[in-house]
Amino acid sequence: MNKLYILGALFIVILLGITWQMAGGILGGKDYMGALALLGAAATAIIAVVVVTKYIRQMQMDTASGELAEENWDGIGEYKNELPFGWAIIFAGLVIWAVWYFVAGYPVNAYSQIGEYNEEVATHDAEFNAKYADMDADTKVEMGNSVFIVQCAPCHGLAADGIDGKAANLNQRLEVTTVKYVIENGSNNQLLGTEMPMPDRNGLFNANTGALITDAEIDTVSKYVANGMKGAGADIFAGACAACHGADGMGQPYVAPSVAAFTPELVVNVLNHGKKGAIGAMPAFANLTDIQKEALGAYVTSLSK
């Protein structure tokens, strides 16, 4: 027998001996998976050594034959050898096994810490919503204040004043720059909870003049809205804005949001969908429960009263 085969057989025996010495104890008892893993390790060792030995022997003894491909690189070419049938079967089997393993065998159906956490959070949120479903108005505002301190104050400030323009000042409904930005650029922030975009200035007509709203009218009506619907600009608002936002600026269902004052529904929609405007973008807050969002809506609405 060729000494290469003898060395291969000896190496297999050594590998199996080491494997048994290190993990042989798992064969006793009821750990079938451990026994299966040990069997797999042994089979892998045997197959690996046999294959390596075979190909080393083949490199020693075989001579090249067959038809060369036309392509070559610096005189080095390849033979047009057919893919070994055994390799094709093994490859196909591995593909099938991989699909089974990822879809049914382990990853998709496996235990997940993230999945367990999400399930526990969902259960907690459901219990929380049920417990506080019937809060009175004062309790809701108190809860909203607590949530605001944790979730909103880092940007809007403890006094909800926007920290020198870094976020919206929630002590008033709108500021001049915000109103002017929306009139000039339009808005699609889902403040009604649905896709109800407001057109930009090219779609805003002043019914009093029968023409598109002008720069001077934008400046005037922006100050009027930011001033709590007071002062000069009432006629411009009536001609260009009231048809959607209402004569009092409190908005109309399914048409436009309130620009005169915050409402709990408006705040909840901002929390659900986020908002972008003159200052920048505010993200949506999917981590809050429905009750917490309602409480925040009640609290923010109470600030400007």
Rounded average pLDDT over 147-162: 95
Residue 115 confidence (pLDDT): 81
Q: Is the pLDDT of residue 28 over 70?
A: no
Residue 31 confidence (pLDDT): 58
List pLDDT tens digits, range 213-226.
999 999 999 999 99
Q: Is the pLDDT of residue 94 over 80?
A: yes
Rounded average pLDDT over 55-78: 80
Residue 61 confidence (pLDDT): 80
How far apart CA 27 and CA 37 sit, in angstroms, is 10
Residue 84 confidence (pLDDT): 83
* pTM (whole model) above 0.85: no
List pLDDT tens digits, range 172-211.
999 999 999 999 999 888 888 887 789 999 999 999 999 9
List pLDDT tens digits, range 201-214.
999 999 999 999 99
Residue 250 in contact with residue 166, Cβ under 8 Å?
Answer: no
Of the listed ranges 51-60, 158-167, 266-275, 284-293, the least confidently predicted one is 51-60
List pLDDT tens digits, range 265-305.
999 999 999 998 888 899 999 889 999 999 999 999 999 76
Supply the mean pLDDT for the chain: 87
E-strand ranges in the chain read 68-73, 76-79, 205-206, 211-212, 275-276, 281-282
Residue 145 confidence (pLDDT): 96
Of the listed ranges 22-26, 61-65, 107-111, 227-231, the least confidently predicted one is 22-26
Q: Is the pLDDT of residue 64 over 60?
A: yes
| DSSP summary character for residue 70 | E
Strands 68-73 and 76-79: antiparallel
Contacts 24+ apart (CB under 8 A), 214-223: 218/180, 218/183, 218/184, 219/180, 221/179, 221/183, 222/176, 222/179, 222/180, 222/183, 223/176
Q: Quickly state the pLDDT bin for 21 (edges 50, 70, 90).
A: confident
What's the Cα-to-Cα distance from 190 to each of 70, 225, 254, 272, rounded to whole Å? 64, 20, 11, 9
DSSP 239-273: HHTHHHH-TTS--BTTTB--SSS--HHHHHHHHHH
